[in-house]
Amino acid sequence: MTRTMADLPDGFRFLPDFLDRAAQEALVEDIRAVVAAAPLYVPAMPRTGKEMSVRMTNCGTLGWVTDKERGYRYQETHPKTGKHWPEMPARLRALWEVLADYPLPPEACLVNFYDDTAKMGMHQDSDEADMKAPVLSISLGDTCLFRVGGTERGGKAASLKLKSGDIVLLAGKSRLAFHGVTRTYPGTSTLLKNGGRINLTLRRVTAAP
């Protein structure tokens, strides 16, 4: 049975409409600068090399990448350009400061771009050594249907729509919840001139000292 918002996993905080239109537009400008320095690329699944439908890039000292040969990992450089990732924009660091309730700054911001057909299968985020730190997720552009379940694959899952300006904070138990993006809803936002959806996830990666 599909769960509703009443029983989201422990530590899951949903902050709908957290960012107003001006704040969303400012973040889009920040991300345009990031993408100009570190182009979106097509990630590939480990071993099979199957291409993901989501386009990705990063900013911060570390970025999450995946390819056929070396699989999921964090690294300091863009896999195509070989350059260091661009600095994390101050606006993103400030959001972490306000919301994360964590003593250390974010190291990675993964930028996911969804076109009208992109989706992301159910998965756990477990490539970070610091699992005590939360993950902060920001949605921009078209609305998507998001699913979040428990810590076991195949368990019950709740569905919710994430729309432009919504923030999700994953702390505690929810940090290891299975989650995915079923679909986006084209034409639901005017934020991005050419449509689509951007999701930003801010994370700590390295083990806390």
Q: Which parts of this chain interact with Fe ion (CB under 5 A)? A: 125
* CA distances to 136, 155, 185 from 9, in Å: 15, 12, 25
Site for ligand MD3 in 147-166 (CB under 6 A): 148
Tracing tokens 């936002």 back to the chain, one arrives at 189
Which of ligand MD3, Fe ion, none does 57 bind, CB closer than 5 to 8 A by kind? none
Q: How far apart are CA 39 and CA 194, in angstroms?
A: 17
Binding of ligand MD3 by 181 (CB under 6 A): yes
Applying CB under 6 A, among 57, 137, 143, 184 the residue interacting with ligand MD3 is 137
- Cα dihedral 64→124→130→133 (10° resolution): 100
Number of residues that bind ligand MD3 (CB under 6 A): 16
Q: How far apart are CA 204 and CA 209, in angstroms?
A: 12
Site for ligand MD3 in 25-84 (CB under 6 A): none
Which residues neighbour 190 within 8 Å (Cβ) at sequence distance 6 or greater? none
Applying CB under 6 A, among 95, 199, 204, 205 the residue interacting with ligand MD3 is 199
On the 0-12 / 13-18 / 19+ scale of CB atoms within 10 A, 79 is: middle
Question: Given the rule CB under 6 A, which of 23-31, 44-52, 89-97, 167-175 is the region that contacts ligand MD3?
Answer: 167-175
Which of Fe ion, ligand MD3, none does 170 bind, CB closer than 5 to 8 A by kind? ligand MD3
Binding of ligand MD3 by 174 (CB under 6 A): yes
CB-based burial, 23-37: b 16+ in 10 Å, e otherwise? ebeebbebbeebbee
Binding of ligand MD3 by 170 (CB under 6 A): yes
Which of ligand MD3, Fe ion, none does 8 bind, CB closer than 5 to 8 A by kind? none
Binding of ligand MD3 by 177 (CB under 6 A): yes
Applying CB under 6 A, among 19, 140, 157, 168 the residue interacting with ligand MD3 is 168
Return the number of the residue (89 or 196) whose C-beta is nearest ligand MD3.
Answer: 196
CB contact at 8 A, 173 and 11: yes
Return the number of the residue (59 or 181) whose C-beta is nearest ligand MD3.
Answer: 181
Neighbouring-strand partners of residue 200? 111, 138
Which residues neighbour 41 within 8 Å (Cβ) at sequence distance 6 or greater? 55, 56, 57, 78, 79, 80
Question: Residues in the site for ligand MD3, rule: CB under 6 A?
Answer: 110, 112, 120, 125, 135, 137, 148, 168, 170, 174-175, 177, 179, 181, 199, 201
